[in-house]
């Protein structure tokens, strides 16, 4: 599943190129997770003012309204001057004067939704429960993060994945940040001291920033809007490395299941 780094890499790969483009038309393929919310023909003539991001949602800011794009489990965007004929998994095309933005999504858990503004429904409903943006200056506060952890009794990795305290710390990045901070994924969130929470706060920012620099993680078929794959998975210290020696102490990395997801950690370096 594309997580925050992959979504941010996607945004960076086409945001400047589509800025200022006038929409010529839109095409819908098979139904996606949620309806578009207006007649696709109504998008023609509108201008793309910019592309923002909130959590894993891309926000195409138009001169009239906003398009929210979610990549779901298997979605990806491409932006090209001319696109080939749409295939069976190409479910949305936005044709503009700068090129065509296409959503490709084999599993169709993605979505493109129009809203009058980010504060109007349905955008307000989709964005309301999202936590702090970890890479935005001033939004991810260490004290607020620790206070939020103190109110949660679930294992720390599950709290990170929930996304209501901090967004974008997906399965790969939660394992890596917890390793960097020396915290076992099964540790109860409310038991973390302020110094340990501060270490985790810093690790989350470091890991996510590094992932963006490396183009995200390509485990299956993720690529940016220009077709480039990511390389962060090659830098992973524990994720996907069960049985291999810990890069710090040499202890074999362990793999467990948490909430139907694989978790990787070093039993020596990471403590409850």
Sketch the domain layout of the chain as residue ranges: 4-127, 142-265
CATH class for the domain made up of 4-127: alpha beta
Q: Closest by alpha carbon to 167, among 142, 136, 213?
A: 136
185 is a catalytic site residue:
no
What percent of the chain is modeled with pLDDT above 70? 94
Token pair for 131: 């936590």
The answer to whether 55 and 63 have CB atoms below 8 angstroms apart is no
Task: State the catalytic residue, choosing from 27, 152, 205, 261.
Answer: 261
User: What is the spatial distance between Cα 168 and Cα 180, in angstroms, rounded to a whole number?
Assistant: 17
- Residues in the chain, how many? 272
The answer to whether 238 and 246 have CB atoms below 8 angstroms apart is yes
Looking at domain 142-265, which of 3.40.50.300, 1.10.8.50, 2.60.120.330, 3.30.70.3000 is its CATH number? Answer: 1.10.8.50
The answer to whether 56 and 2 have CB atoms below 8 angstroms apart is yes
User: What's the mean pLDDT when you consider all of the chain?
Assistant: 93
Instruction: State the maximum Cα–Cα separation within the chain, in Å, rounded to a whole number.
Output: 60
Q: What is the pLDDT of residue 91?
A: 97
Q: What is the pLDDT of residue 183?
A: 98
Q: What is the pLDDT of residue 16?
A: 97
Task: State the catalytic residue, choosing from 3, 6, 8, 176.
Answer: 3
User: What is the spatial distance between Cα 128 and Cα 194, in angstroms, rounded to a whole number?
Assistant: 27
150 is a catalytic site residue:
no
User: What is the spatial distance between Cα 230 and Cα 173, in angstroms, rounded to a whole number?
Assistant: 14
By CB atoms closer than 10 A (0-12, 13-18, 19+), residue 28 is middle
User: What is the spatial distance between Cα 106 and Cα 80, in angstroms, rounded to a whole number?
Assistant: 20
Angle at 30 between CA 26 and CA 36, to 5 degrees: 50
Q: Residue range 238-248: average pLDDT?
A: 95
261 is a catalytic site residue:
yes
Res 222 pLDDT > 90? no
Beta strands in 140-265 (DSSP E): 254-258, 261-265
Task: State the catalytic residue, choosing from 11, 17, 46, 56.
Answer: 56
User: What is the spatial distance between Cα 33 and Cα 40, in angstroms, rounded to a whole number?
Assistant: 16
| Tokens 């489990």, residue located | 73
User: What is the spatial distance between Cα 152 and Cα 91, in angstroms, rounded to a whole number?
Assistant: 39
Model pLDDT for residues 144-195, shown as the tens digit of each residue: 999 999 999 999 999 999 999 999 898 999 999 999 999 999 999 999 999 9
3 is a catalytic site residue:
yes
Model pLDDT for residues 28-80, shown as the tens digit of each residue: 999 999 999 999 999 999 999 999 999 999 999 999 999 999 999 889 999 99
């Amino acid at each position: 599943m594309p997580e925050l780094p992959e979504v941010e890499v996607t945004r960076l790969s086409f945001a400047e190129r589509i800025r200022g483009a006038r929409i010529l038309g839109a095409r819908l393929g098979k139904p996606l997770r949620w309806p578009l919310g207006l007649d696709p023909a109504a998008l023609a003539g509108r201008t793309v003012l910019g592309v923002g991001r909130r959590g894993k949602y891309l926000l195409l800011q138009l001169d009239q309204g906003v398009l929210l794009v979610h990549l779901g489990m298997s979605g990806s965007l491409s932006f090209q001057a001319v696109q080939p004929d749409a295939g069976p998994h190409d479910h949305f095309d936005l044709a503009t004067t700068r090129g065509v933005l296409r959503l490709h999504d084999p599993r169709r858990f993605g979505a493109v939704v129009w809203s009058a503004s980010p504060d109007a429904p349905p955008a307000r409903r989709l964005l309301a429960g999202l936590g702090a943006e970890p890479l935005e200056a001033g939004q991810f506060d260490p004290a607020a993060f620790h206070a939020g952890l103190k109110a949660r009794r679930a294992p720390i990795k599950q709290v990170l994945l929930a996304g209501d305290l901090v967004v974008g710390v997906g399965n790969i990045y939660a394992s890596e940040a917890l390793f960097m901070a020396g915290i076992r994924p099964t540790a109860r969130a409310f038991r973390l001291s302020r110094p340990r929470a501060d270490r985790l706060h810093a690790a989350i920012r470091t890991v996510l920033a590094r992932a963006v620099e490396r183009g995200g993680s390509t485990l299956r078929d993720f690529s940016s809007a220009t077709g480039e794959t990511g390389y962060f998975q090659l830098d992973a210290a524990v994720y996907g490395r069960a049985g291999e020696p810990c890069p710090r102490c040499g202890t074999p990395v362990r793999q467990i299941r948490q909430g139907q997801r694989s978790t990787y950690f070093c039993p020596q370096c990471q403590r409850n």
